[in-house]
């Protein structure tokens, strides 16, 4: 099946307590490129291999967390059809005018029952410093910091994730690539709109609207090691890793930004096709599913969110 409709994650707006510290972290350490600062103080960043103007948006606030996660759709007319399908599913749709973020067209959004803002948009300007197109070199400017290739996915925590999964499947045409089933129901779900093992994931949690991590894709396992070296060199608060997930199979390291928002950098992961079955983990092997080498549950990773 060709990829149509919802294409991929595109925007993640993160609340930070200290913008100067956040810029040092995301630009100098993670290695995103600075795109610009808007009139309201929001800071726009991108990874070197992204064509779109920006992917990460930082907003100064008095508490940490994630304001919104947005997906790019293929065509402007898709916004109209998805608006109808979201309404038909029973959710309210809100509208964001073009230009609310510099270079981004109109967006539609809804607040899903896990308490998160999920938005769709079709149009965004191409970055000034975009990847080469004609006789393309690997990059325009050599990658720096952890050398992230793209903003890849987010993991969000909140209640009602069975309904959230159903909404993503029925209203937005996502598929569930992998899930964790416990005796009392769905604990976690990894949802994809592409051939990636996940484009967004949810874990059941009593408090709505919580943010577990935003993830950046790296080239390979060596790059995960390089990122780990940077984390130790600059005393970045490390959560866990380098290690590997059983779920999605990504090789990974987790750490926290200066406002306590968790970041992941990872490489690998399987290719998911729409004809593939949903892989499933149960309570007997969940430790291996979450961290394949440690094989045991990690309370901080499972419960600490912003």
Partner 1 sequence: MDQTEIRTVHRIRVPGTDIDVPCRPQQNVLDAFERRGLCRDIRIGCRNGGCGVCRVQVLEGTVRADRMGANHVTADERLAGYALACRIYPESDLLIAAAPRNPCATRARTDETIATADRRLVGTQTACLHRHGPACPGHDE
Binding of residue 85 to partner 1 (CB under 8 A) = no
From 2-10, 109-117, 134-142, 178-186, give the range in contact with partner 1 by CB under 8 A: 109-117
Which residues have a Cβ under 8 Å from the Cβ of 27 and sit 6 or more positions away? Answer: 33, 34, 45, 145
Is there a contact between 193 and 199 (Cβ–Cβ < 8 Å)? yes
User: Closest Cα to residue 195, out of 210, 177, 208?
Assistant: 177
Structure tokens at 42: 């929001």
The minimum distance between CB 61 and partner 1, in angstroms, equals 7
Q: C-alpha angle with apex 159: 267 to 85, nearest 5 degrees?
A: 80
Structure tokens at 261: 């928002």
Structure tokens at 9: 């994650």
Binding of residue 262 to partner 1 (CB under 8 A) = yes
From 65-73, 131-139, 147-155, 279-287, give the range in contact with partner 1 by CB under 8 A: 65-73
Binding of residue 306 to partner 1 (CB under 8 A) = yes
Closer residue to partner 1 (CB): 51 or 94: 94
Binding of residue 268 to partner 1 (CB under 8 A) = no
**Does residue 245 have an active-site annotation?**
yes
CA distance 80 to 75: 10
Chain residues 3-42 in contact with partner 1, contact rule CB under 8 A: 13, 15, 17-18, 40
Chain residues 193-222 in contact with partner 1, contact rule CB under 8 A: 206-209
Cβ neighbours of 88 (radius 10 Å): 10
From 46-54, 75-83, 115-123, 191-199, give the range in contact with partner 1 by CB under 8 A: 115-123
From 28-36, 184-192, 193-201, 251-259, give the range in contact with partner 1 by CB under 8 A: 251-259
Closer residue to partner 1 (CB): 63 or 80: 63
**Does residue 198 have an active-site annotation?**
yes
The minimum distance between CB 183 and partner 1, in angstroms, equals 22
Beta bridge partner(s), residue 254: 240, 264
Closer residue to partner 1 (CB): 62 or 137: 62
Q: In whole angstroms, what separates CA 226 from the centre of its chain?
A: 21
Which residues have a Cβ under 8 Å from the Cβ of 117 and sit 6 or more positions away? Answer: 67, 68, 69, 109, 110, 111
Binding of residue 237 to partner 1 (CB under 8 A) = yes
Which of these is catalytic: 198, 205, 212, 272?
A: 198
Which of these is catalytic: 25, 54, 116, 153?
A: 153
**Does residue 153 have an active-site annotation?**
yes
Cβ neighbours of 28 (radius 10 Å): 14
Number of residues that bind partner 1 (CB under 8 A): 47
Q: Pick from 2, 62, 133, 134: which binds partner 1 (CB under 8 A)?
A: 62
Q: Kindly report the three-state secondary structure assignment for every residue of 4-19.
A: CCEEEEEEEEEEECCH
- Integer angstrom CA distances of residue 252 from 151, 219, 242: 14, 11, 6
Is there a contact between 195 and 172 (Cβ–Cβ < 8 Å)? no
Q: Which parts of this chain interact with partner 1 (CB under 8 A)? A: 13, 15, 17-18, 40, 61-65, 67-68, 90-97, 100, 109-113, 115-117, 206-209, 237, 239, 256-262, 300, 303-306
């Amino acid at each position: 099946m060709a990829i149509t409709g919802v294409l991929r994650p595109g925007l993640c707006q993160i609340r930070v307590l200290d913008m100067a510290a956040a810029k040092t972290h995301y630009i100098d350490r993670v290695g995103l490129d600075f795109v610009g600062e808007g009139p309201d103080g929001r800071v726009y960043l991108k990874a070197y291999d992204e064509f779109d103007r920006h992917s990460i948006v930082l907003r100064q606030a008095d508490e940490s967390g994630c304001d919104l996660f947005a997906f790019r759709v293929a065509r402007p007319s898709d916004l109209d059809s998805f608006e109808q399908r979201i309404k038909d599913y029973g959710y309210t749709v809100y509208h964001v005018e073009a230009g609310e973020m510099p270079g981004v067209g109109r967006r539609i959004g809804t607040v899903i029952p896990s308490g998160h803002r999920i938005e769709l948009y079709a149009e965004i300007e191409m970055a000034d410093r975009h990847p080469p197109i004609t006789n393309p070199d690997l990059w325009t400017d050599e990658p720096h910091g952890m050398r992230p290739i793209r903003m890849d996915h987010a993991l969000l925590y909140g209640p009602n994730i069975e309904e959230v999964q159903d909404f993503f499947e029925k209203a937005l045409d996502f598929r569930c690539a992998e899930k964790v089933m416990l005796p009392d129901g769905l604990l976690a779900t990894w949802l994809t709109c592409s051939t990636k093992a996940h484009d967004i994931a949810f874990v059941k949690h009593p408090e709505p609207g919580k943010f577990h991590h935003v993830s950046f894709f790296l080239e390979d396992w060596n790059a995960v090691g390089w990122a780990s070296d940077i984390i130790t060199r600059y005393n970045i608060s490390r959560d866990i890793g380098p290690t590997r997930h059983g779920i999605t199979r990504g090789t990974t390291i987790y750490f926290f930004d200066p406002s306590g928002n968790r970041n992941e950098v990872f490489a690998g992961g399987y290719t998911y096709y729409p004809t593939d079955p949903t892989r499933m983990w149960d309570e007997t092997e969940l430790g291996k599913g979450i961290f394949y080498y440690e094989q045991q549950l990690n309370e901080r990773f499972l419960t600490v969110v912003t």
